[in-house]
Amino acid sequence: MWLSRTKNDLIIEVWEKLDCESIGASEIEAIETVVRDQYGESAVESPMVIARLLADEGAELRHSELMELYVKRATDRPYDAAFVDLDIRDLKSAAGTIKKLENLRRKYAADNDKNGLRLVRQKGIQLKTAATEMAAKMSADAVGRQIAEEIAQWFTVWLQTPDVFESWVDLRQNTREFIEKFGRVRTS
């Protein structure tokens, strides 16, 4: 039904089919529905991104409606509270963070909450990246670099095999290499 080959072209095509000069909440929601149907939930842009694209194409924006929609969406974020207090400053805090993410992963899996599962994985990848970047920046601090590298490795294992991570990290902490680098660290 739709001829567009890209998401942005699809947004413009839907707007043109709506045959309206101005854009407000109802038009944005109609466009989001089509984008979601064509490309999936993760492809849906925020109302402000869609509005900006259409304004660049000559649409007149009904700013008050768009701001109301934006505020409504910004305050309706049920997952935000679950992802507070995630910390990777040291091995103990990283272990606690992974444990929290794993508990969330199990809860969302039991609830068949695909969006929650996606957010848990996304947060794990972000924290792994942050640890990797910390390790790269700590060229002068060998101990700090080793800790950041270890944390990045933990996230790698958890992301790949979350069901065995807890057993793996217990075994890892009892290896000679780990004890020589970090001593006997109590992470639980």
- Tell which wins on pLDDT, 82 or 11: 11
pLDDT surpasses 90 at 32: yes
How many angstroms separate the CA atoms of 105 and 53, rounded?
35
State the pLDDT at residue 180: 92
State the pLDDT at residue 71: 85
Query: Does this model's pTM top 0.75?
Result: no
pLDDT surpasses 80 at 136: yes
What's the whole-number mean pLDDT along residues 51-61? 94
- Tell which wins on pLDDT, 41 or 31: 31
How many angstroms separate the CA atoms of 151 and 142, rounded?
14
Band (96; pLDDT cuts 50, 70, 90) = very high
What's the whole-number mean pLDDT along residues 68-89? 83
Share of the chain above pLDDT 90, in %: 73
Band (42; pLDDT cuts 50, 70, 90) = confident
Least confident of 63-72, 95-104, 164-173: 63-72
> What are φ and ψ of residue 46, in 5° steps?
-70, 155
Share of the chain above pLDDT 70, in %: 98
State the pLDDT at residue 84: 85
Q: What are the structure tokens assigned to 34, written together?
A: 């089509």
pLDDT, mean over the chain: 91
Long-range contacts (CB closer than 8 Å, 24 or more residues apart) made by 53-59: 53/8, 53/11, 53/12, 54/11, 54/12, 54/15, 54/23, 55/23, 57/12, 57/15, 59/15, 59/21, 59/22, 59/23
State the pLDDT at residue 76: 65
pLDDT surpasses 90 at 74: no
Do residues 120 and 128 touch, judged by C-beta distance below 8 A? no
What's the whole-number mean pLDDT along residues 140-154? 91
What's the whole-number mean pLDDT along residues 76-91? 84
Going from N- to C-terminal start, the domains of the chain cover 7-75, 80-182
